[in-house]
A and B are shown apart, each in its own frame.
Chain A
Amino acid sequence: MKTFDLNIRLETREKNYSLIEISGYLDAHTVNMFENRMEEILESGEQNMVLDLLDLNYISSAGIGALMSLTQRLRKKHGDLVLLRPNRKVYKILDLLGFTKIFVVALDEKEMEDFFKSKKQEQK
């Protein structure tokens, strides 16, 4: 069976963060692939990461756990993870569980840019 469960595309590293598009679903089946790909990006020394979740249709506890682990690792390096444009369903699940208070969620690119600007100023 052909599967296109999870697609991950590293969009850009031109700014002070990596922008990664995630599409499909992040569950117990796809989480290992996701973690392996994120590990490669982390190993390249990345401090800030942005996951564009516009086309992520579903997330389970396995996916949330992977995002949590990624967030903790980036914050240890004084960086951060931004979840950009989660769709309504994914946002609702994160919000009902209280994760919108733990993760940095940006509903659009301006919010994301503003977050990094204010973070940069705090670090000065």
Chain B
Amino acid sequence: MYDMGDEFSLEIHCPGTTRILSHIRPFICSIARDMGFSDEEIAQIEISVDEACSNVLSHAYGNSLPGDYRFDFQPSYQIRIALKVAKDHLQITINDFGVGNKKGPHVGVRNLEEYAQKGHGLGTYIIKKFMDKVEISYPEDSGTQVSMVKFLSR
């Protein structure tokens, strides 16, 4: 476990393909575990990061519909994951370098009944439910950006 005074940032650039998700998840989990998050909180962070990456990928390089992950991978497709480890929280920012979703904000469903009717929006719902702070933005130079924070409960 890190010392309470330890704070650091790191940034990784990954190929913009869903294949990379199974590598990102254990990496994020190991950081969260070292910070002292509980198993339940680690599972929440893991799925939130997965959803954010999937969301960014599908909007940047997919068929423009939320949750539509079908696209032909190109070497230029990339996503960036920036982590800020602080003594009381973990901040994760994910963005792509693609076109992003310029059509409007990501709107998650409000509850499972709404999800059952619409059939999409669950990823954003999960992120908002499990993370303490979530911000989705569309910087001019980097497509979609999802920034989220989880505070240590101890």
> Binding site of A, secondary structure by majority: helix, strand, loop or mixed?
helix
Most buried by A among B18, B25, B120, B129: B18
Contacts A62-B69, A98-B112: A93 and B18 contacting too (C-beta < 8 A)?
no
- In the complex, the answer to whether A97 meets B18 with C-beta atoms within 8 Å is no
| CB-contacts of A74-102 with B (<8 A) | 89, 92-93, 96-99, 102
| CB-contacts of B48-68 with A (<8 A) | 50-51, 54, 57-58, 67
- In the complex, the answer to whether A3 meets B19 with C-beta atoms within 8 Å is yes
Cα-based distance from A58 to B50 in the complex (angstroms): 11
Q: How many residues of B contact A (CB 8 A)?
A: 31
- In the complex, the answer to whether A102 meets B112 with C-beta atoms within 8 Å is yes
A61 within 8 A of B: yes
A10 within 8 A of B: no
- In the complex, the answer to whether A93 meets B57 with C-beta atoms within 8 Å is no
Contacts A62-B67, A99-B112, A102-B112: A29 and B43 contacting too (C-beta < 8 A)?
no
Cα-based distance from A29 to B70 in the complex (angstroms): 9
Contacts A61-B51, A68-B116: A28 and B40 contacting too (C-beta < 8 A)?
no
Give min CB distance, A68 to chain B, whole Å: 7
List the count of A-B residue pairs having beta carbons below 8 Å apart.
72
Contacts A28-B54, A28-B69, A61-B126: A93 and B43 contacting too (C-beta < 8 A)?
yes
Q: Which residue of A lies closest to B25 (CB)?
A: A58
Cα-based distance from A32 to B18 in the complex (angstroms): 11
Give min CB distance, A30 to chain B, whole Å: 8
Give min CB distance, B31 to chain A, whole Å: 17
Please, which residues of chain A bring their CB within 8 A of the CB of B57?
28
Give min CB distance, A71 to chain B, whole Å: 10
Contacts A32-B70, A93-B43: A60 and B54 contacting too (C-beta < 8 A)?
yes
**Given A60-B51, A68-B115, 9 more contacts at CB 8 Å?**
A25-B22, A28-B18, A28-B69, A29-B22, A58-B46, A61-B54, A89-B43, A93-B43, A96-B129
Sort A-B residue pairs by CB-CB distance and give the 4 closest, nearest first. A29-B18, A61-B122, A28-B54, A61-B123
